Copies of this chain bind each other. A is one copy, B any other.
Amino acid sequence: MLDLDFHPSGRHFLQIPGPSPVPDRILRAISLPTIDHRGPEFGALGLKVLTGIQTVFRTRHPVVIYPASGTGAWEGALVNTLSPGDHVVMYETGHFASLWAKMATRLGLSVELMEWSGEDKQLPHAGGWRRGVQAEQIEQRLRLDTQHRIKAVCVVHNETSTGVTSDIASVRRAIDAARHPALLMVDTISGLASVDYRHDEWGVDVSVAGSQKGLMLPPGISFNALSPRALEASQGARLPRAFWAWDDMLAANKNGYFPYTPNTNLLYGLAESLDMLLAEGLENVFARHQRWAAAVRAAVQAWDLPIQCADARVYSPVLTGVITPPGVDADELRRLIYERFDLSLGMGLGKVKGRMFRIGHLGDSNDLSLLATLAGCEMGLRLMGVELAASGVQAAMGYFSAHRPSSALRKVA
């Protein structure tokens, strides 16, 4: 048997902002025998997941499911809609926004990376990584582009590296206000199914998502939700594409099938995930994550440590970044916490490496698993010699005790 936890006993606490803890039901579902992806049962499964995922994206338009992890869906969004040398505006809100820009450059696009221009005392070199997309900045930029050389605006909805959830509707309003035809592409890899997301209502052209976050699946499948304009753009787009091509995909999807071998067993998991999410109700799912996030922030505030996200309007319901005091290496802290308490936390990435850590509060979690997580953090911080203003665990317990969850128990009288 594989040795997947080097600790002698107990269940690992996977509190990184994805992969999220996978429910037992889903793990059982993905272990069912692989079926013929051209047989009748597969067609029924395909139609079920293709329809269900539309509900989660809140779209009436097609959603492409790739048998590839999330990074692939980024590539799918770009190569289906753009041509070599096309100019795109991307907005750096964190590490994943910058990685997407790096990919776009690598694929031969001309990338203009915008950034927040203010001053941040806590992290002077990474102030933009503490805020969301500034829609007015984008509007100004687009107004200048009178020749419409900018083909797309690409933003990250929920920045997994920082814990900032940008206001996507405001970006759409900015594009419209500038009367600019650029496509709006949004990475909601770590947002979808945890935070409110409205592909159609917000006028998103391509939404990119993955399986291992709010959908509570292992990694391995990813998504492109499309708009009619995105589909139109794909007609003329000249970046080479084959695996990622939407046209073959959509043709085969009509009957629930795929043009090449799909990731069958993860689709079993997706069917189970959709059953769970839609039974609970998306509104309840979102409220659940908001409540968890509030409790975790109450803990960080009790510790009197700075939250990575400096703008309370865009706190992420999915994860919370915590800045460690000067001199405390966040990676050493994480390692100590992992070794002593069997808890995985997210590391600081790129510009904030070693300066912060991330607490995931998404997926198959509950009040007690988050309190356990906060207890692990609190013990680790103290063992590293950090003076804490107060107990964050107590603060979170107070919050949870005072705020009932919105989703009721299913059947208890």
Contacting residue for A69 out of B8, B30, B261, B344, CB 8 A: B261
Q: Assess whether A40 is interfacial by the CB under 8 Å rule.
A: yes
Which stretch in A70-78, A136-144, A316-324 binds the other chain? A70-78
Which stretch in A111-119, A127-135, A148-156, A374-382 binds the other chain? A374-382
Is the beta-carbon distance between B2 and A268 smaller than 8 angstroms?
A: yes
Q: How many copies of this kind of chain does the complex include?
A: 4
Are A375 and B393 also in contact (CB < 8 A) when A32-B2, A339-B409 are?
yes
- The residue on B at minimum CB distance from A368 is B372
Is the beta-carbon distance between A45 and B106 smaller than 8 angstroms?
A: no
Are A272 and B412 also in contact (CB < 8 A) when A68-B68, A261-B219, A397-B378 are?
no
Scan residues 268-301 of chain A and give those whose CB is less than 8 A from a CB of chain B.
Answer: 268, 271-272, 275, 280, 284-285, 288
Chain B residues near A368 (CB-CB < 8 A) = 10, 13, 341-343, 372-373, 375-376
Query: Could you tell me the distance in whole angstroms from the C-beta of A61 to the nearest C-beta in chain B?
Result: 24
Is the beta-carbon distance between B32 and A412 smaller than 8 angstroms?
A: no
Are A263 and B69 also in contact (CB < 8 A) when A4-B268, A36-B19 are?
yes
Are A10 and B366 also in contact (CB < 8 A) when A1-B1, A36-B344, A220-B266 are?
yes
Is the beta-carbon distance between A397 and B379 smaller than 8 angstroms?
A: yes
Cα separation A32 to B28 with both chains bound (whole Å): 8
Chain B residues near A12 (CB-CB < 8 A) = 33, 35
Known: A8-B284, A375-B397. 17 other contacts (CB 8 A): A4-B33, A6-B410, A9-B364, A10-B364, A10-B367, A10-B369, A19-B34, A22-B34, A31-B31, A39-B344, A67-B69, A67-B72, A79-B240, A240-B240, A369-B372, A371-B375, A393-B393
What 4 A-B pairs come out closest when comparing CB atoms?
Answer: A10-B366, A31-B31, A68-B68, A372-B372
Q: A residues within 8 Å of B by Cβ?
A: 1-14, 16, 18-19, 21-25, 27-41, 44-45, 66-72, 74-75, 79, 84, 103, 106-108, 210, 212, 218-220, 239-243, 245, 260-266, 268, 271-272, 275, 280, 284-285, 288, 338-344, 347, 364-369, 371-373, 375-376, 378-379, 382-383, 391, 393-394, 397, 400-401, 404-405, 407, 409-412
